[in-house]
Amino acid sequence: MFNAIYSGLSGLTAFSKGLDVISDNVSNLNTPGYKGNDLIFQDIFYRYQLNSGADGYSLGANMGGGVDASVTKLRLSQGDIRSTDVATDVAIDGNGFFVIRKGDEIFYTRGGQFEFNDDGILVARGDENQIVMGLDENGKLRQIDINALRTSPPKATSNISFKNVLSTATETHEIPDIEIFDVAGNKHKLKLILTHDEANNWIVEVKDDKDEVIATRGEIHFSGDGTPTEGFNTFTFEYKPENLEGNEITLNFGTPGSYSGVRSLSGAVDATNIEVDKVDGYDVGGLKEVTFEADGSMVLNYTNGNTEDFLSLALARVDNLGSLRQIGDNLFMVAESEQPVISAAAHNGLGDIVGKSIELSNVELTQQFTDLIVVQRGYQASSQILTVSNEMLQQLLETMNRK
């Protein structure tokens, strides 16, 4: 009966631990990237009793010592991915962990709620000591720092392309208000004047926003099929505003032999509808948003329309998942003998990055409630074993006292 008491007591202890594990899982239901735990129950046998049977054979009995529940197993299944519309929220769809540096140590996490601190460094939201690591061009770990990239320098206009039709019946055609940028990012407007000459070619003249001629005698020729002629499909001139360095601008009327740009056709004057297709260049821009591609590369989007590719998020592949250990703050450590593979997303067996999203906890409430019922009933049954054993001992003592 004493053995039954100890067995029942081990049941109470084990099911109490089970309640601890379930409560921890449920309380972390809304923790992004959280991985639930399962308590492992193992039976205990202290001795094996042998008895001689009447027919000469040995009979035995397993004398159980109760249950042990000192080991938990990490459940590493994928959690659901939910959109958040927060630019620096990222989730991993598939294998891998984000790499975090905290002090001089490296940790790993599936929680992708990040933000840029005041110094422009990508950190875990709510804990600036958790620095999110990226990969440089050599594949080495480094912190993601955008402090020097908060603005985008201007780019002077270097190319203006045109499209649609120039009718040979047109003598002169103007294209006004062509907006360009100088080397300082200032906006200007140019006027393009096209004059049809006797040789069936077009003479190009360019005026600035003061209506002064800044370029002339450019020639645009067209072949018999109406497409631009090689060597006469572009006109390049220098644009030099007052007190600023000049830059060259090329007027591009299309690819020779192609109808993708400007076409020359015979017909009425009103058939001419040439217009600007594209103008490059931009002014100074501020950082508007940071986005992440599927391979983890970070794209900086500026208010001037410019985009710049930056570092990629570093991901870690841990082949021996049993070496992972939860340490709190949604972080994992790995055993010193384990060397995770560090790479970019979508490479070396790692999953894809999903931007503006987070991975939810993989805790399944229905399973937890089912386990909770089992734990409660197991605890009640173990408690009943202690009660019955105590009553039997009491009965034994009373019987011995009567003798």
Q: Is residue 22 part of a domain?
A: yes
Q: Three-class SS of residue 367? A: helix
Give 229's DSSP letter: P
Burial zone of 311 (CB within 10 Å; 0-12 exposed, 13-18 middle, 19+ buried): buried
pLDDT of residue 369: 95
**Which of 235, 257, 279 is the endpoint of a domain?**
279
Do residues 218 and 268 both lie within one domain? yes
Rounded CA separation 133/143 (Å): 5
Tokens coding 195: 């004059």
Q: Is residue 126 part of a domain?
A: yes
pLDDT of residue 56: 53
Domain total of the chain:
3
Do residues 271 and 174 both lie within one domain? yes
pLDDT of residue 318: 94
- Amino acid sitting at position 388: V
- How long, in residues, is the chain? 403
Do residues 190 and 258 both lie within one domain? yes
Q: Is residue 286 part of a domain?
A: no
Do residues 338 and 387 both lie within one domain? no
Q: Is residue 109 part of a domain?
A: yes
Any bridge partners for residue 174, and if so which?
193
Do residues 52 and 102 both lie within one domain? no
Cα 82 to Cα 32, 92, 207, 291, 332: the distances in Å are: 10, 11, 54, 16, 22
pLDDT of residue 48: 65
Q: Is residue 305 part of a domain?
A: no
Positions of the chain with pLDDT under 50: none
pLDDT of residue 269: 72
Q: Is residue 354 part of a domain?
A: yes
Q: Is residue 111 part of a domain?
A: yes
8 A C-beta contact, residue 301 and residue 290: yes
pLDDT of residue 396: 81
8 A C-beta contact, residue 42 and residue 71: yes
Question: In this structure, how many other beta carbons lie within 10 angstroms of the beta carbon of residue 152?
Answer: 23
Do residues 55 and 117 both lie within one domain? no
Rounded CA separation 78/361 (Å): 8
Do residues 197 and 145 both lie within one domain? no
pLDDT of residue 53: 57
Q: Is residue 306 part of a domain?
A: no
Do residues 104 and 24 both lie within one domain? no
pLDDT of residue 216: 93
State CA 367 to chain mean position distance.
Answer: 30
Containing H/E element for 137?
Answer: none
Q: Which residue has the tokens 């040789």?
A: 199
Tokens coding 210: 């003061």
Q: What range defines the domain where residue 338 resides?
A: 81-149+312-359
Do residues 145 and 166 both lie within one domain? no
The DSSP code sequence of 68-105 is EEEEEEE--PPPPEEE---TTBEEEESS-EEEEEETTE
Residue 221 belongs to domain with CATH number: 2.60.98.20
pLDDT of residue 47: 67
8 A C-beta contact, residue 37 and residue 75: yes
* β-bridge pairing 247-252 and 159-167: parallel
pLDDT of residue 45: 74
Do residues 275 and 163 both lie within one domain? yes
Do residues 178 and 228 both lie within one domain? yes
At residue 94, what are phi and psi to the nearest 5 degrees?
A: 125, -150
Do residues 354 and 371 both lie within one domain? no
